[in-house]
Amino acid sequence: MNPGEMTIKEVKEFLLTCENLSEEAQALFAADMRSGVQAAFKQWHRRMEKTQQLYQRWLDMSKHEQELWKKGYAYIAGVDEVGRGPLAGPVVTAAVILPQDFYLPGLNDSKKVPAARREEMYEQIMKQAVAVSVALSDAALIDEINIFQATLRAMQIAVQNLSVAPDITLNDAVTIPKVSVEQRPIIGGDGKSISIAAASIIAKVERDRMMKEYDVQYPGYGFASNMGYGTAEHLAALRALGPCQIHRRSFGGVLVP
């Protein structure tokens, strides 16, 4: 393959879909002095660098899983929560068991993934995961037993409801009570483990969808945009309307004077 025998349009079309070039081929493109070829080759090179960075990030984030798979742990459940901080709505937890050949470039803590990409990742995880379970604790339970205990209870239910029993769980920072399998808490786990990151994506998308439904049921608070967090708009609505059924009355800021 010689770029010198190709038109600039052909070069652009070729590089747009090309995933691998030998060193010899790269040298030929680099030597072609046509500005259009140089621009297309530089764009291809940047794309390959980005692909390599994502792959390296994936390797770094799958170290816990790789170590455990090598030791014979076939089913590793990542466990995470979303929604501990908001003034309204449930805390949602997810447990996810990924297959050993799973690869999803860019998977990360859900807070660091754009909303549209989270939705795409959600669909891919749901389609390919060995097992997924979601559980929640609502505002009433949060007020009754506090947010931390309510989170742990939802995590416990999520793990117990998995259709495939895990050999071990990787949890974002906590140890879950009343779970009989081995556990490994990882501080900042949603950015250090692909399994926990996958659980973070599932929990975030599920909770966001719930809050958009609550926005229709309880209009005026802006739940579809603030997801129950204490934004200026939300606090102003609380002052004007008072709390609704899904507000956490034990949280400061809900019963605004």
pLDDT one-digit tens code per residue, 49-70: 888 899 999 999 999 999 999 9
* Contact between residue 254 and residue 142 where contact means Cβ atoms under 8 Å apart: no
* Contact between residue 93 and residue 138 where contact means Cβ atoms under 8 Å apart: no
Domain edges within the chain? 3-61, 63-208
- The CA-atom distances, in angstroms, between 14 and each of 6, 20, 23, 30 are 10, 11, 16, 15
Contacts of 227 (CB under 8 A, 6+ apart): 83, 86, 89, 207, 208, 211
Query: How many CB atoms are closer than 10 A to CB 241?
Result: 12
pLDDT one-digit tens code per residue, 204-254: 999 999 999 999 999 999 999 999 999 999 999 999 999 999 999 999 889
Identify the burial level of 138 via C-beta atoms within 10 angstroms of its C-beta, where 0-12 means exposed, 13-18 middle and 19 or more buried. Answer: middle
Q: Dig out the tokens for 94 from the structure.
A: 């997810």
Threshold 0.75, pTM exceeds = yes
* Contact between residue 166 and residue 77 where contact means Cβ atoms under 8 Å apart: yes
Please enumerate, by residue number, every residue annotated as part of a binding site. 80-81, 172
63-208: CATH topology? Nucleotidyltransferase; domain 5 (3.30.420)
Question: CA 253, CA 98: separation in Å to the nearest integer?
Answer: 39
Q: Dig out the tokens for 135 from the structure.
A: 């559980």
Please enumerate, by residue number, every residue annotated as part of a binding site for a divalent metal cation. 80-81, 172
